[in-house]
Amino acid sequence: MTKRLFLAISFFMLIMCGCNLDKSDSLDYLNLSYFQKMSDPRFVIDGEKVHKRLLKLCVERSVHSAKDSALYHYYAKEGSSLWLTSYGDWTRIEQLLYWLENSRVHGLNPEKFSVSKIKANFRKLRSLEIKKTDNINKLLAELEYDLSAAYLRYVCGMSYGFVSPGRVLNNIDEAELKPGEVRDSLAPPKMKIYYSIPLKRYNRKFVNNALDAVKGDLNTFMMTVQPKDPFYLRLQKEYVRLAAQKSNSFKEIPDIGKLVLKEGDVNEVLPLIAERLMNLGYLTRIEHAESIYSSLSSDLLNAVNEFRRSNNMPVNNTIGSYTIGMLNRPLSYYKNILAVNMERVRWQKRMSKGSKYVEVNIANFTLKAVDERVDSLLEMKVCCGTYENKTPLLASKIVYMQMNPYWNVPQSIIRKEIIPSFLADPAYFEKHQMKVYDTEGNEVNPLSVKWTSYENEVIPFSVKQEKGEGNSLGRLIFRFPNAFAVYLHDTPSRWAFMKENRALSHGCVRLEKPLDFAFFLLKKKDEKVMDKIRIAIDVPPKTKQGKELLELPEYKPMKAFSFPEAVPLFLDYYTIVMSKDGKLNYCDDIYKFDRPLLKELRKI
């Protein structure tokens, strides 16, 4: 009974005190007409009804998350309002609305937090403009709940991300159904696991701390949940810069067909190209640009090439239709890709990097190995899985490496590639140093197998490629626990690293510099161990001790090496990368992951 009375008095005082805060919406002082107005049934406050309605909203709108549970238990136990204070102080609400509306700078839509609805109900409350079909109790409960739900959604999302990447990306094949197409109910599900990086999630303790912060210094707490990663801040800065521009400032540049513009050429598209480059930040904005850039100057060409470098395009001294097509990407393209990558940075990986770690960015085909203890950085190109054979995104630890590994060919590759190749060339197995074995491990002549009879059945044979030169895994393979049978390894196909698009493998990651990578993974740079690794893969040793090993008839080359310290490895996917000097480079979305993530991020 005491709680009910307290709630009734609290909310009544809220209305009485609050009405003086906005002179445009309410009375400057209380008079008889005000009290007469308050006798209207629409404004009769029943604390118990407000409380019950609030708890009902917590249940009805729950998705059974930690924040839903914590919110319900707070109102069930405490009963008091977080936002609608008894003395009519609107400061908390105004502070929260500032942060929610400012979510635009994070690539978010404020309506994700019901801002318009909150402001409309807030306005109704302050002006007492309530329809006859409505009542003050329902309005108070709705406003209180919406403020709390928006607040928790914001602080949890800013701290841990708004999108669950596993839930989105691991259903990506199902999402590729065409409009109107129905998946055959008898067909096996197409879902594949593409995202397998364990992430931290908000928990009950975090939510309770957030609720406690409302009654303390709200602004200070909101500052603590803002992302502070340097990469995030750079993405955000660029997003804000582009968001300040109007869409019509990106005027379409006419296609020039087969025409190729060279330095010194004059053409009507050049001022438009210059304008686009100024909008994108590759060219300094100047007055009279239209006349200055009427011809293709060296400055303009340099800016075009800077744009190309930032967009994974080859640099050259001419401008053609392809470059103009890339320049014609709309403003929304850049804002969307920046928003998606800000969301990626908000995700917190459960496994810590530590001071020594390895990161592979699949979208950029690069590996970065960092050892902060000795200020060491190793970078190299990599080849990743094709669109059809996507390299899974995962977190693990590199445990050991093998020298001159055999390749046990997966059944899927035997069926899709090796059998068709063998049928076209009976010498295929011999040429590629491959052997066939039955289920008991006995070697079988591939010519004696009726491969076509297993088109729709399990193939009762295994295929193994001999170790050494020509082996698809190369001379070194780096193994780490994972559920996908993917690894980092050497490759005999060195030509692949000359290509811009290096999505070429069956899912494993091929390394440009496997020997350097092996040395990086060592706990300490032991020259003798390094020489043993060299000798194992037929690279001449560099030390006197190493050369002496070669002279020993009893010396057996190293076959494997376990790392005393397992090194954290992250196979991840960012379609924007930041260079050492802070420049942003855009990558092709080779796996088409951005669109489904953006769609989920844009959900209201």
| Mean pLDDT by groups of 10 residues along the chain of 604 residues | 42 43 37 47 78 92 89 88 77 95 97 96 82 81 96 98 96 59 47 91 95 94 97 98 89 94 95 94 86 92 96 94 96 97 98 97 98 94 96 98 93 91 92 92 93 87 90 95 96 94 96 98 93 95 91 92 97 97 96 97 88
Q: How many helices (H) and strands (E) in the chain?
A: 24, 18
Q: Which amino acid is located at 225 in the chain?
A: V
Burial class (CB in 10 A: 0-12, 13-18, 19+), 116: exposed
pLDDT at 15: 45
pLDDT at 384: 98
Strands 443-444 and 434-438, how do they pair? antiparallel
Total Cβ atoms within 10 A of residue 144: 22
Measured CA to CA, the distance from residue 404 to residue 465 in angstroms comes to 11
pLDDT at 88: 63
Q: Which of 389, 392, 112, 91 is nearest to 219 (CA)?
A: 91
pLDDT at 27: 32
Q: Tokens for 317, please give them.
A: 């001294």
The catalytic position among 51, 106, 432, 489 is 489
pLDDT at 26: 39
pLDDT at 291: 82
Strands 503-505 and 376-385, how do they pair? parallel
DSSP classification of residue 580: T
Q: Which of 337, 332, 293, 289 is nearest to 311 (CA)?
A: 337
Total Cβ atoms within 10 A of residue 320: 15
Strand partners, 476: 403
Give how far Cα 462 sits from Cα of 96, 443, 503, Å.
62, 9, 26
Q: Tokens for 162, please give them.
A: 């708004």
Residue 354 near residue 570 (C-beta atoms within 8 A): no
CA dihedral 153, 138, 97, 332 (to 10 degrees): 60
Measured CA to CA, the distance from residue 158 to residue 224 in angstroms comes to 10
Helix axes 269-280, 298-310, angle to 10 degrees: 50
Q: Tokens for 580, please give them.
A: 């050492």
pLDDT at 178: 52
Q: Tokens for 135, please give them.
A: 């009542």
19 is catalytic: no
pLDDT at 84: 84
Domains of the chain are 2-178+187-224 (no CATH), 251-329 (1.10.101.10), 352-405+469-573 (2.40.440.10), 409-466 (no CATH)
Strand partners, 350: none
508 is catalytic: yes
3-class SS at 479? strand
Measured CA to CA, the distance from residue 136 to residue 45 in angstroms comes to 6
pLDDT at 191: 57
pLDDT at 107: 97
Place of tokens 């592979």: 360
The catalytic position among 383, 384, 508, 587 is 508
User: What is the sign of the dihedral through the CA atoms of 74, 77, 78 and 83?
Assistant: positive
pLDDT at 44: 74
Strands 393-403 and 434-438, how do they pair? unpaired
Long-range pairs for 451-457 at CB < 8 Å and ≥24 separation?
451/419, 451/422, 451/423, 452/419, 452/423, 454/415
Q: Which of 7, 301, 2 is nearest to 137 (CA)?
A: 7
pLDDT at 205: 94
pLDDT at 23: 38
Could you give the angle at the alpha carbon of 426 between the alpha carbons of 422 and 430, nearest 5°? 90
Q: Tokens for 412, please give them.
A: 């899927």
pLDDT at 463: 93
Q: Tokens for 93, please give them.
A: 């609400």
Q: Tokens for 241, please give them.
A: 């810069």
pLDDT at 38: 60
